[in-house]
Amino acid sequence: MKILTEHESKKLLTEYGIPVTREAVARSREAALMLAREIGFPVAMKIASPDIMHKHAAGCVLLDVGAQDVGAAFDTIIERAKKHAPDARIDGVLVQEMVPRGTEIVIGIKCDSQFGHAVMFGLGGVFVEVLDDVSFRIVPLTKRDAIEMTEEIRGHSILAGCDVGAIVDAILKVSEMAAKENILELDINPLIACERGVVAVDASATIGDPPHNTRRLYVPYR
């Protein structure tokens, strides 16, 4: 079992055509500034470490960082990370585009012992478990399944101004990914849904052990 970092998880999403934030890992203040200029201000900056899962809780996420603050932000994040988890491996700081406001949704994968991979869709953000407004389907999903998921959550009217087509597309791509990759669990949270398109702002994937230990979970009928 391996837990991928945010950046690694997003690389996986990109392979399946799920839009993610423009971002890269900076190993120094200077690199961070260069990356930030390339991405465009303001930027979001987060710790890049395989050992720190809850970046927010560790104080290692800074948002809306302007040009003159990038260096200081870099130092702050590294410092807080070291304080939070002194033994954590640190890849650097993830410099990331700030995404315009939209609706925060969650798309996830869970591997179930009876049904195999299940895809979850619902209202996302930090309150995802409090809102508890999610829907599941078993992989592989049809387009109709994905559409129904967006319709059956209690808060479906919140999606009114969003690009539901792009959400459905993302759900289907996650289904495809679940069928092909050996994923134990995945959270894309939040996936920001805008008037046009969606973009994954944070993601975390847990990959199972190499194929020789894994059961084939989906055996098509006939």
Partner 1 sequence: MHITPMLSKVLEPDSIAVIGASSNREKWGYRILDNILSGGYSGAVYPVNPNEDAVLGLRCYPSVLDIPHRVDLGIIAVPAEIVPAVLKACGRKDARGVVIVSAGFSEVGNRELENKVRDIARDYEMRMIGPNTFGFINTHLNLNASIIPQMPETGGISFVTQSGTFGLALVDWAASQQMGLHLVLGVGNKADVDDSDILAYLSPDRHTKTIMMYIEGIKRGRRFIDVASRIRKPVIALKTGRSRAGSKAALSHTGSLAGTDRIYDGAFKQAGVIRAGTIEELFDSALALSITPPAGCGIGIISNGGGAAILAADLCEDLGLNLPDMSERTVRMLKGVLPAIATPANPLDTAGYASYKMFRDVTDIMLSDPGIHALLVIYVHAEMVDPCLPAEAVIDASERCDKPVLTSWIGGKDIGTAVKLLEENRIPNYPLPERAVVALNNLVRYKRISQKR
| Under rule CB under 8 A, residue 51 binds partner 1 | no
Q: Which CB contacts under 8 angstroms, 24+ apart, belong to 158-161?
A: 158/103, 158/123, 159/103, 159/105, 159/193, 161/103, 161/195
Tokens, residue 187: 């959270």
Encoded amino acid at 160, one letter: A
In the complex, the smallest distance separating the C-beta of residue 88 from partner 1, rounded to whole angstroms, is 17
Tokens, residue 144: 């109709």
Going by the DSSP 8-state scheme, the letter that residue 199 receives in this structure is E
Interface positions, 188-217, toward partner 1 (CB under 8 A): 189, 204, 206, 217
| Comparison of 77 and 118: residue with beta carbon closer to partner 1 | 118
Interface positions, 65-84, toward partner 1 (CB under 8 A): none
- One of 109, 168, 191, 199 touching partner 1 (CB under 8 A): 109
Distance (Å, whole) CA 206 – CA 108: 11
In the complex, the smallest distance separating the C-beta of residue 118 from partner 1, rounded to whole angstroms, is 5
What is the contact surface with partner 1 in residues (CB under 8 A)?
A: 3, 106, 108-110, 112, 114-116, 118, 120, 122, 128-129, 132, 134-138, 141, 144-145, 148, 152, 184-187, 189, 204, 206, 217-222
